[in-house]
Structure 1
Amino acid sequence: MFKPQPTKGRREDGVKVEFVYCDGARDDVQLSGDWTDWRAIQMFHEGGGMWSVVTPVPPGAHEFKFIVDGEWKHSNRHPTIGIDETSLNNVRVVLPEPRIESQKTIAEPPAGSIPLSKTSRAASRASDTGSTTGSATGSAAGSAKGSSKSRTSGGSTKKSGGLFRRR
């Protein structure tokens, strides 16, 4: 069946969804569903008895069927809805596409915050030079660095910055 192509710049509504039929077909398979008012969409033979098509479908629950070699059929590989074999349709729930924030929004830190990369580099430089300005452990380490006094107690020598064994 002929399906008009969208004109350049026009966006078809819906989420792109792939439908696959592989329950046996001789020559032709088409997809038909409630979102197209049951108009047929041609499926493409992928080989090995598999037919597929990607088509836009609006978010929500939708019923569909396949037209296999001219005969309406449901697939046993998809969930079904209906009362008996004659009224069964396949059903699929299509979720809306996730909203993705622009890169600019994600890349910019909140107002008044320091970017992580600058903080990491500053901390890295401080640990390389032994200077850890502004931290409680840094001030203790800094004062121990300047102090060369040691106290002896038992079998160990204790320096202000830590415990060292006597040799």
Structure 2
Amino acid sequence: MSTSLKQINKLKKNPRRKEQVNEPKFVERLIKISRVSKVTKGGKKLSFRAIVVLGDENGQVGVGVAKADDVVNAFKKAKTNGKKNLIRIPLTKALSIPHNVIGKFGACNIIMRPSIEGSGVIAGGAVRTVLEVAGVKNVIAKQLGSDNLLNNARAAIDALENLTTKSQVSKKRDIILK
């Protein structure tokens, strides 16, 4: 009886047996790294700010921002910040957005429209990066207002948050009619 317990314990402690963790694979895209200096009593203190977009190219996307004393740590911190801010978006069969939408953040306005299959992502700057990482393949987007990369990325996230599907709209209508 004691030998069978030993064998069971060996099975549990086998280092070659790996526990499979079902973590989704995220694609990380760096939008911008900027060098930031803070003037203090002792002189200038340099640090780096990273803006990162990450998503699974299947309807999940998030934007992260972080500062650190070196580039690598700023990138890592921005990645973890982006994972905290993930949103899920609805995609059509043509890998486009379901309807026209407008996103606003600060002075930035983003207009997004669905387009036919094969047209690709027609967008510029940070908006293009956000849409590609989210998994949107066919869309037309226009940035209006500010050229700030972070605000444009957040305006794109705001626009994607405002997307709804037909089933969500019908559920809302059913609730209102009752």
TM-score category (smaller protein)? under 0.3
Q: What TM-score results when the alignment is normalised by the length of structure 1?
A: 0.21
Structure with greater helix percent: 2
Higher relative contact order (CA 8 A, sep 6+): 2
TM-score by length of 2: 0.20
